[in-house]
Amino acid sequence: MSVLKVGSLFSGIGGIDLGFQQAGFEIAFANEIDKDACKTYRYNFENCNLIEGDIRNIDVNSLPYVDVLTAGFPCQPFSVCGNQKGFSDKRGNLFFEIMRIADSLQCPVVFLENVANLTEHDNGKTFNVIHNELARRDYFIRYIIADACNYGIPQHRTRTYIVAFKSQSACETFRFPDECNLTKRIFDVIDKTVKVDDSYYLSPESSQYERLGKAIIDSEQIYRFSDYGIQASKDGISFTLKANMGTWYNRIPYIRDNFGIRRITPCECLALQGFPKEYSFPDIPNTSAYKQCGNTVCVPVIKQIANQIKLLSKGGQFKLQNTHR
């Protein structure tokens, strides 16, 4: 059987791509506009066909055929943490660029990822637009709102996942992965016994150290400053990592390890997103690395969904097309 091909839009550092790759798919092309994110992507994906630049400038005639088109399109227009302008925000309208490319490629499956609030935004009108745009292109859709901690990741990260099929029978047969018991906690993926670079540690003379020192009463939790004071995680499950870690250092979670009180590192953020240990950052500013961590996805969740999609191809539920234009 031929390898299933994926085209990736709004690829970021490749979290969705990595999940599909781990499930046995091949990434035919990817697109990302953020220069530092592109550096990280290329650093970790050898011989990648990464199209760096604005999605609106993509020449669809230059793209190879793919079986699955994926897009973690900009979430700020729909997020409760953003301005929630939806399609009136130019970033929200980038959804229609996904449709432009889907129109050209006519791929059997479209996979979309966005914030949990997507289905509720503007009293459901935003989601209805997305559904109707897919439906008028003869796609049948399934969606789920899922928290990563129910799929093996010690982080609360609730997202909307949409899978759209050209085949009605494939859509009816498709099942999202079952939830599972969480067997890992924060410090199963972050090693408190290893000393990191001194720059991550707070000085014992600082006011932040004093405040956190009083607040950290459970060494198995992770902590962060918020508008409401210092927040602690619960049950060894991290709160959601956010892109604003790259602009507000106070939003980066803190831990007490064997050597002091410190911020978690960008690589530890990746660990909480389920990235493998060998995935790393090139020489980019830490602010960019933290932003990339907050913008990416939980890889194991994507892998599990990709595996469910792959099962249908084995059952002949959607036609594989190997011709390239």
For the chain, the structural domain boundaries read 5-182+297-314, 186-293
The pLDDT mean for the chain works out to 91
Q: For 136-221, where are the alpha helices, taking DSSP H only?
A: 168-173, 186-189, 207-215
Edge-to-edge order in the sheet of strand 158-165:
50-52, 26-32, 5-9, 68-71, 109-115, 158-165, 140-147
pLDDT digits (tens, 9 = 90+) for 156-170: 999 999 999 999 999
pTM: 0.92
pLDDT digits (tens, 9 = 90+) for 66-107: 999 999 987 454 444 445 454 454 545 789 999 999 999 999
Which of these CATH numbers, 3.90.550.10, 1.20.120.790, 3.40.50.150, 1.10.132.50, describes 5-182+297-314? Answer: 3.40.50.150
pLDDT digits (tens, 9 = 90+) for 196-238: 999 999 999 999 999 999 999 999 999 999 888 999 999 999 9
Q: Which helix (H) or strand (E) holds 59?
A: none
Residue 149 catalytic? no
Q: Which helix (H) or strand (E) holds 295?
A: helix 286-295
Per the CB < 8 A criterion, the answer to whether 143 and 161 are in contact is: yes
The full length of the chain comes to 325
Q: What is the pLDDT of residue 186?
A: 98
Give phi and psi for 27, each to the nearest 5. Answer: -85, 110
Which member of 75, 149, 171, 298 is catalytic?
A: 75
Task: Decide: residue 310, CB within 10 A, 0-12 exposed, 13-18 middle, 19+ buried.
Answer: middle
